[in-house]
Amino acid sequence: MSNELQKPVIGFTCGDLNGIGIELIIKSLSDNRILEFCTPVIFCSNKSLNFYRKGLPDYNFNYSNVKELNRLNPKQVNVFNCWEEEVAITPGQLTETGGKYALISLQEATKALKEGLIQGLVTAPIHKKNIQSEAFQYSGHTPYLKDIFGVNDVVMLMVASNMRVGLVTEHIPVAEIAKHITKENIISKLKIIHSSLQKDFGVDKPRIAVLGLNPHAGDEGLIGNEEETIIKPAIKEAKHSMMVFGPYSADAFFARGQFEKFDAVLAMYHDQGLIPFKSLALGEGINYTAGLPGIRTSPDHGTAFDIAGKDKADHSSFLEAIFECIEISRKRFGYAQMRLNPLKKISARMIANAVDERIDEAEG
């Protein structure tokens, strides 16, 4: 196994400066054992890190500053200073400054991810209101990354050890959900999930469940007709290239544990998927953006202004996001290697088999 495969370079954005993002980073990277699995690089400033480090005396957090991403120290946490100026940090407050520097960190980190200078990215939580600007007019990380990488579609995929839940629609008003439930959108999401399960999670023959939009999955048209006119036709078409099932009634599907029979679930909207996911993911859930050329994960929670700067933030989900990012990097590498020069591999195998047969004949 190569050093690159053993230790991918993983980037970290700081998130909103007044939220719990930097605290999560410090707590997660204080254990030096993580350096056995990746080379971390934080896109922030040492001044902002030190502000929070002073309030976390029980964590042994050390780092080295770097000016060039191709000259990282693999034996330490690295900090790429995205700004040098003093920044006013007010934990727990929603300020323009918090959003401004969260965006600077995100821009530098995504640039590095696009250029292949880092193999994966873990994003700390942003606040969707104060980060809005001419450069960021999105409802969150997922649509921003979709545009930055120039892909046609992505999937917000919630991942835990016992389940994976993708969404057709993400952060949109409930009143607008139905108009975004189209056959084309459903098929697009299913294709991305199917490909991601194979490439990023090592599932050879994925089984994907699709939920209905309406209560009881429409009761055959009695409670809304989206299942009959949109969702079922989408599933029927998708079945030509993958194993997909449904539509299932969302309440019974999770309550009866049916999700355990599938490799992933496609929910129609945010709360339909995330309420059961966060209830059943045992506190280890993370958010993964499927469909990107680069790898991006994040914890499954927000900025938590109410506990920011108080040493109360639980970094369990952030740690899961780090290790999932590392694992997906390894799975992608293995997937690519398996498909590298397949004709050469087949020829080599045939030659080896022929040699074995000659040896057997000679010994016989």
What is the full per-residue pLDDT of the chain (364 aa) written as tens digits? 344 446 899 999 999 999 999 999 999 999 999 999 999 999 999 999 999 999 998 899 999 999 999 999 999 999 999 999 999 999 999 999 999 999 999 999 999 999 999 999 999 999 999 999 999 999 999 999 999 999 999 999 999 988 999 999 999 999 999 999 999 999 999 999 999 999 999 999 999 999 999 999 878 888 899 999 999 999 999 999 999 999 999 999 999 999 999 999 999 999 999 999 999 987 689 999 999 999 999 999 999 999 999 999 999 999 999 999 999 999 998 888 777 765 555 555 555 565 556 555 555 5
SS3 42: strand
Q: Quick one: which of 21, 194, 216 has its CA closest to 124?
A: 21
Condensed to tens digits (0 to 9), the pLDDT of residues 133-158 reads 999 999 999 999 999 999 999 999 99
pLDDT at 337: 79
Condensed to tens digits (0 to 9), the pLDDT of residues 170-211 reads 999 999 999 999 999 999 999 999 999 999 999 999 999 999
SS3 44: strand
Do 1-151+292-364 and 153-286 fold alike per CATH? yes
pLDDT at 162: 87
Q: Are 157 and 288 in contact (CB under 8 A)?
A: yes
Q: Where are the domains of the chain?
A: 1-151+292-364, 153-286
pLDDT at 361: 58
- Compute the distance between CA of residue 143 and CA of residue 153 in angstroms, rounded to an integer: 9
Q: Which CATH number fits domain 1-151+292-364: 3.40.718.10, 3.30.360.10, 3.40.50.720, 2.60.40.1180?
A: 3.40.718.10
Could you please report the per-residue DSSP string of 164-225? Answer: EEEESS-SS-GGGHHHH--HHHHHHHHHHHHHHHHHTT--SS-EEEEE-SSGGGGGTTTT-S
pLDDT at 344: 52
pLDDT at 119: 96
Of all residues in the chain, the percent with pLDDT exceeding 70 is 91
Q: Which CATH number fits domain 153-286: 3.30.460.80, 3.40.718.10, 3.90.1150.10, 3.90.230.10?
A: 3.40.718.10
